[in-house]
Structure 1
Amino acid sequence: MKDLIKRIPVIGPVARNVYRRWLNPPKPFHGSEDYWIERYRDGGNSGAGSYNRLAEFKAEVLNDFVASHGIRDVIEFGCGDGNQLALARYPSYLGLDVSPHAVEGCARRFAGDASKSFMLVRDYHGQTAQLALSLDVIYHLTEDSVYDTYMRTLFDAARDYVVIYSSDKDEAQPGVSHVRHRQFSRWVRANAPGWRLLRHIPNRFPYTGDNDTGSLADFYIYGKGSLT
């Protein structure tokens, strides 16, 4: 059945998504935090964007940025299962997540790496880094208050740069309760004085109907100065 669906031309990606929903009907949605806590608790992962060619593309951009700009420390809000982090080359890294299972899993996975540490978002008490990251998170923040708090925390935690990997449009995704696209660039202009967009890097693999092979997210690099 799976192989047959993949071989169907044109409608293949749509058919695969319908098939997945048929096999795994969505659970009732009780908010973004509960969704991710339950997802990781039930053995789920960070999603297609943290695997395969999408993960490799993100790692290439981020590793190049860290190396070329002499980034010494990185903080990420939404570290997930750590699969994306496994491709990273950061001198020092602090990853935060709302999910205890995600944080515990990352701590186990990188137990031998002293350059990496992890903590729950609820335990965050103002740590900062030269670079703050938000990767595939913003469009999962469905509540306005959660979104606003997240954005303020993200920019307050960054000393020099913020790198966001996300869609940048206001749009709900029909049939997907845990996704709400946000035009975050408007929030930055209104609420983060002193920060400006330094570079926009379009996705090498834009979305064409299949979440496994393409993404609506691009890279947006913000800074207080200019890129060298």
Structure 2
Amino acid sequence: MVTQRQRRFGSTMLLVLALLGAFSATAAAAAEPAATPTLTGSFTLVDDGQTITYQASGFRQHEWIATWFTLPDQSVMNGPNFRADERGATPIDIRIPRNSVSGDWALTVYGLEGKLPLVARFTVTGVDPPPVPAAPLVAPTAGPAGSTFRFTVGGLEEWEIVSYWITAPDSTIAYALPATLMVGRYGVATLDWTPPAGSMAGRYVVTIQGLSSHVARAVPFEVQR
């Protein structure tokens, strides 16, 4: 029997694998030609709890498609997975969770074979952001490409494995690693990241998520010119 935790773990791992593919270099094209993926539909204002529907087309036959949301604080929340039909198309029906935070959201639709992200943007009318808890630490808070940033977050399970990904100023994924870091004692995780030369300047966010607890921590920092 597949448990609820196993289902959540599988969904999280598919998201992480999609994020990892999104930042990596494009793989060699498949032998058969494929149309350019498109996402049809337009939403400007969305209520929390509302279901939004887009039509995805141009994907490869029976291709798996991952989705995720980029929230107003640039943290990432995984969405449901879809599979294209024999024509490379599928409706994307996603319900915005109840009591979602108000602000500008982005939905990314990503084919695991074609590796081309499609992004739809809209504004959610929900609840005000909760009070910010004790902030995770980043040092330095700003620096040029080539600087090493150290992130420290708490509130995770002791010794659990975490994944992390880094969202660039344009909401694309600059870097991602699945299941590569173990939380230390007291539920504290520390990691270092050095943006390579030529990295886009602006506000970045590293999201660190426990694969057992499903707790996610987002830490903003700035890459300067």
TM-score (norm 2): 0.22
Q: Which structure has greater strand proportion? A: 2
Q: TM-score, normalised on structure 1?
A: 0.22
